[in-house]
Structure 1
């Protein structure tokens, strides 16, 4: 065995590679009692500890689909009283893949598989996320065209995407990008405020009959399909340059 320290940590199911890098930067990771730094490698027989506790080998992988209700924050920080971990109260350590804004609702995945988190969050994967969005006033064709063709936010222009009007002030949008609070920011630039935002699909998975606040395990078929969809992920250690690929 000879793998990078962040990959080793993620493969134990403790957290994603990106989170592992934060632990390393904070000096909380040791290899054989020596403080680890980014780029260190782990060899067979090495003892890796976080905050003085040895990392345990990964248990069986868990993949969960949750219909997140409004008011739940997609963070593993237990100091945040509305955090998604306490909300789900799952008996073993899991973490969300990407984020949904606290005010937003809908489909989010949670897992203990740090490797699949890393693959899904890569910007290069271009995985589809579908949302139903309601705004504070009626929309028109000009609004739909503008959303489709790209809106300048966060110093860039959003990628062209599918947008379809669903009602006087409601639309469906499919994103492959994941800029921070992307849909809300796009609407704000065009003079609209989002009053309701619901993610109804990630890649091949939809909410189906999952009621708000309820969760279920992935089926074996869904796990196989997700793994096939991310199989083309680059094998490099690079992340996606600070862009959380599963943001709204």
Structure 2
């Protein structure tokens, strides 16, 4: 700890109690004390200070992070990504880990797939920040045949929650299934995007986060992240904010200076350079593309 101390939320998150965001909530709810007194947001912890949450002392974490837990979990359908133990089917009770851990991000209860859990609150924000542009890959099944227009619209961006989703990579897997790679994490993003385009998601599975995939993990199983995986993750989040923020700014620069209504109107209009190109009857597309464009040749 430096001579000037460490911010309280950072101290709590590094202890493995929760993420910084959750630590801020605890502080706001007056559940945190320093030396028996209730602090304000932004208060710094000095050497020798005693920090407690709900009366329980929180110890400082090892500087080398040797005491931190990082696991990959294949969340089954029906498990809720919350640390609230009173919630039936919560992810903490499902895993039954001996140490205190919490999820990095979330997956909806009806969804399944890969999610990280950790005792390292400091890494949570680095992975979750949208501007860091870390890949999350999903395989999605919908209720209607996937059309070429649907793929183009999903990849270009869809108006949801008062914004336009960032451009993303989308490709057909089979008649009713597509794969999508996101760097955002908007609430129920894929389901909302599909709903806007007239589709309903019947199955959603996250298969990869950054360099880690589900290989070898059946629903309900978990494993510790390997040293190689952790090394690559730490390298990816190290100083990545500036680079990815720049890329994010460039990707969104054409819409950031105009009213939201204008953005929605453009998103709902056919691409002027390819008017009439995209099918709207949801019949299987026959067109193929080459180069860097996505191929719509479906796998048998």
Calculate the TM-score normalised by the size of structure 1: 0.92
- Root-mean-square deviation (CA, aligned residues, Å) is 1.2
Of 195, 201, 219, the residue aligned with 1:194 is 201
Of 180, 183, 205, the residue aligned with 2:187 is 180
Structure 1 CA distance for aligned equivalents of residues 53 and 198 of structure 2: 47
Per the alignment, residue 56 of structure 2 pairs with: 53
1:212 is displaced (CA, Å) by 1.2
Unaligned runs of 5+ in 1: 236-248
Per the alignment, residue 15 of structure 1 pairs with: 18
Q: Of Structure 1 and Structure 2, which has the larger fraction of its residues in strand?
A: 1
1:234 is displaced (CA, Å) by 5.3
Aligned-partner SS, 2:26: helix
Of 114, 129, 132, the residue aligned with 1:122 is 129
Structure 2 CA distance for aligned equivalents of residues 145 and 215 of structure 1: 35
1:70 is displaced (CA, Å) by 0.2
> Are 1:154 and 2:154 matched, yes or no?
no
Equivalent pair of 2:11/2:60 in contact (CA under 8 Å) = no
Of 6, 10, 22, the residue aligned with 2:9 is 6
Q: Deviations over 1:25-46 (max 9, x none)?
A: 1000011111011010111011
Structure 2 CA distance for aligned equivalents of residues 233 and 15 of structure 1: 23
Of 78, 82, 98, the residue aligned with 1:75 is 82
Aligned-partner SS, 2:16: coil
Q: Which runs of 4+ in 1 moved over 6 A?
A: none
Unaligned runs of 5+ in 2: 243-300
Quick check: which has more Rg, 1 or 2?
2
Which fold has the larger relative contact order, with Cα–Cα distance below 8 Å and residues 6 or more apart in sequence? 1
